[in-house]
Amino acid sequence: MEIEQIKELQKNGRLWDYIICEELNKKHKGDIEAKEIVFAGCIGAKVLNKKSYSYNSLTLTISSAGKDHLTNSILKIFPKEIYETYGRISAKALNYLHSLDNEPEYTYDGKILYLKEITDEILNNEVMKEFTSGEEEISQVAITKQKGAGVDVVRIRGHPVVLTTTANTIPSEEIRNRFNIVTLDISEEQTKRTFICEEEKYDENIILFLNNLKSYIVEIPKELMNFIVKSFPKNKVRYRRDFQKLLDFTKAITIFNQGERQKLDKDTLIAEPEDYDRAKDIFVNAFSSCSEIPLKDIDRRIINALEKSGEPLSAKRILNEIGGIITIVGLYPHLRNLVQKEILNELQARDTWNNVLTTFVISEEYKEKKPFVLPNYFDNDEKLEEEAIKGIICNKGNKGNKGNKENSVTSSLMV
């Protein structure tokens, strides 16, 4: 594709869809929503005033579904010098990777760190928490040495965008606050797509375009900010952090559209409503509630028993409902784990003899299968419908039906 064609696509607001639906399909077909989340995170690495937790992703799906293939495919369209890839990294290696004692000038800002098959130990590692939730430019992390050898203080500069994959780790609420949980399409249709996928080289001019994107501070103008504040739900404490994520996704889209955006000064871009309108859809797809956590078979049986009952049940009654396939002693750790992940609520009451009776019920958050809906800044439903008919926007599924629609875009995207 010629540079002028790329500029024309961007001017018309169609370049993002072209890259997601056409260009990235050259190496990984389908999984449109997952590609958007990870791709937006990579673009977000260039936002200078981002939060450290906004763009990190944990791609969580069964083995052989293509999670590492998807992430690798997206990274290959970016310059090699901005990302590093490690498979099954140890906690010790992560602790001392690019520490200022070894590399005094190194900064993680603007970098992408890709960690394959990550474990709970690494997700909850001291340095990882600084990467994905810290605010200081230079973080000091106290690491306890083995065998009582004291404490080592490690200093690191900056916060990378952290991309991770796993087939086994079940994320806690804390991890879901620091990572966007990405799932892949495991349908038969997606499997068919992989059968016919013959990888192609990415367009050199698309790579050049992404390589030339500069880092900026992004400001959201008052009128747009007021609209976002008014539209965003406020009934949960976690939304304080999620609101900042939405702002940062908007900033990432502004970075992508920097050639069409006004500057406040040489270091600052001004976001536009179109940036928010695209960003909010990606944000909603990236939003993860406890209802999306993959469950073990025994945990699924517990949930099914409570759903069927429709009322709080004691551990003993749950055991009876699931057919006694586990002992009461073995059941309690599963119940505690589900409570910790906010899938179940634990209730206490008194029985006829005034003894404390503990029961369990499905939480309201788990019942909310679909996320909240955020309005467009512009009332452009008719425009979107017209573009969909013409085939110039991606055919994307919604949050509740990931992967259920054919992910495709027609050649009318071409200029």
pLDDT for 396 equals 52
User: What pLDDT is attached to residue 337?
Assistant: 84
Architecture of domain 297-367: Orthogonal Bundle (1.10)
Concatenating the DSSP letter of every residue in 277-345 gives HHHHHHHHHH---GGGS---HHHHHHHHHHHHH-S-EEHHHHHHHTTS-S-HHHHHHHHHHHHHTTSEE
Four-residue CA torsion sign, 306, 312, 314, 316: negative
**Calculated CA dihedral for residues 58, 281, 290, 49, nearest 10 degrees:** 60
Domain residue limits, the chain? 3-289+370-413, 297-367
| pTM for this entry | 0.81
Rounded to the nearest 10 degrees, how much is the dihedral formed by the CA atoms of 280, 28, 42, 275?
Answer: -30
Report how many helices (DSSP H) and strands (DSSP E) the chain contains, helices first. 18, 13
Contact 381, 365 (CB under 8 A): no
DSSP-derived 3-state class of residue 379: coil
Answer yes or no: are the C-beta atoms of 215 and 46 closer than 8 Å.
yes
CA angle 290, 295, 300 (to 5 degrees): 105
Which CATH number applies to 3-289+370-413? Answer: 3.40.50.300
Q: Measuring CA to CA, how many Å separate 70 from each of 39, 113, 160, 166?
A: 10, 15, 19, 13
> For residue 305, what pLDDT is reported?
92
How far is Cα 67 from Cα 65, in angstroms, rounded to an integer? Answer: 6
Q: What is the pLDDT of residues 104-151, one digit of tens each?
A: 999 999 999 999 988 888 888 888 988 998 888 998 888 877 666 678
Q: And the tokens for 282?
A: 């990606």
What DSSP character marks residue 216? Answer: B
Task: Give the pLDDT band of residue 199 (cuts 50, 70, 90).
Answer: confident
pLDDT tens-digit readout, 201-231: 999 999 999 999 999 999 999 999 999 999 9
Note whether 83 and 112 are within 8 A (CB): yes
pLDDT digit string, tens, across residues 362-407:
988 788 766 678 999 986 554 545 554 444 445 454 343 343 334 4
Distance CA 249, CA 41 (A): 8
